[in-house]
Amino acid sequence: MVCRKNLRKILSAVIFRILATFLLIGICLQMLIQFFSCTLAHDTTDIAKELSPDGKYIAILQTHGEPVSFGPTPLRITVQTADGAVLKQMDTSVAHDGCCLTASNRTVEWEQTCVLITLHGDEQLDETLQFPLSENQIPRSNYKSTA
């Protein structure tokens, strides 16, 4: 009788430790997945708001959606007037090894009739997007290398 009680205690302890180990492994995996993600699914986070020199227009860059670890980062670019009227909105991505967009991998240049936004990524050629500042112009996208 005494041996069976000890055996039950030992088995209960072993089963408890196995379950606790699986629980800890699950928690660690979840933390790793969150660590390698910039944003949450369907979440939009402002990265930059660039005001034109004359103060009439704003270019807004946002992460959009969830990047795959070490893959392209989803990006939403919105060009609008200072009073909030959207002139153009575009979803694209930047291949920057799964990292978030920062000031070091984007440039915004304001011209009289358009704004040029260039995306720099470790795993892509520089991509220059042209957004017209009037509704009558057609936007263009140019791919060029600065290497």
Domain extents for the chain? 1-35, 44-143
**Residue 103 DSSP code:** G
Among 86, 91, 47, 40, CA closest to 66: 40
Are the beta carbons of 134 and 114 closer than 8 angstroms? no
- Is residue 147 very low, low, confident or very high in pLDDT (cuts 50, 70, 90)? very low
pLDDT in tens, 39-64: 445 577 788 899 999 999 999 998 86
- pTM value is 0.60
pLDDT in tens, 57-96: 999 998 866 555 666 778 889 999 999 899 999 988 887 6
Distances, alpha carbon 49 to alpha carbons 18, 111, 129, in Å: 51, 17, 16
3-state secondary structure at position 133:
coil
